[in-house]
Amino acid sequence: MCARGNSDITAIDTDEEEVITFRDLESYADRHNLDRVMVKKWRDLFDRDNTGVVSLSEFCQTLGLKPASIHSQRQMFVRQVPLNRSQIRVVMATMSRAMQEQIGEDVFFMTRDSKTSNEHLADRIKRHLDKRFGRTWQVVICQGSSWASFTHLPETAFFFQLDKNVYLIWKTPD
C-alpha cells in the first residue's frame, strides 16, 4: 500500500474531493478483489481521530508526502482516461477532462473541415483557442518523435495524437 500510496489515493478518490470515506475504500477493495482488512489498516493508519474519512492532508502528513505530489499523480491518472472520440490518443494532459474533450472535438472537426497545411491548421487552432479560452495559447503540430520543454499556466497543457499528427497545445502566462 505505501509503495503505491500516491496512485492508491488517486484511484480511490475518484470524485477528486480530496476526502476518502471508508465506503469508498470498501468499494475500491471490492472492485480490485482486495482483502477488506485493507479498510481497517487504512482506518488505523490514517483516521486517528475517528472521523470516518481520510483527508488528503491526513494522508500526506502520515506518509510524509506533499499534496502537490498527489495533484501531480492525479494529473497523470486523468490523462490515461480515454476521451469519448476514440481517434484521439492522449499523450499528456494537465487540464480537466472536460477541457480535453472540448479541445479534442474542436481540433477533430477542424482537421476534417480543412485541407490546409499543418502551418495554417496550427494558426487556425491557436486563433480558436485564444478566442474561446483567452489569449496566449501555443500550438505545435508534429509527426514522429518530439520532445518539449515549456512553461505553461497550471492545468492548461494537452498533448494528443490524432491520425498521423501529434498536437502539443498549452497556454502561457501573458
- For 59-74, the pLDDT digits (tens) are 778 877 777 666 555 5
Give pLDDT, residue 83: 61
Give pLDDT, residue 51: 87
Question: How are beta strands 158-162 and 19-21 bridged, if at all?
Answer: unpaired
Q: Contact at 8 Å (CB) between 39 and 79? A: no
For 48, left (φ over 0), alpha (ψ -120 to 50), or beta?
alpha
Give pLDDT, residue 1: 37
| Residues of the chain falling short of pLDDT 70 | 1-11, 13-16, 68-84, 113-114
pTM score of the predicted model:
0.55
Residue 30: strand, helix, or coil: helix
Rounded Cα–Cα distance for residues 60 and 136 (Å): 35
Give me the long-range contacts of 100-104 (CB less than 8 A, separation at least 24): 100/158, 100/160, 102/132, 103/129, 103/158, 103/169, 104/158, 104/160, 104/162
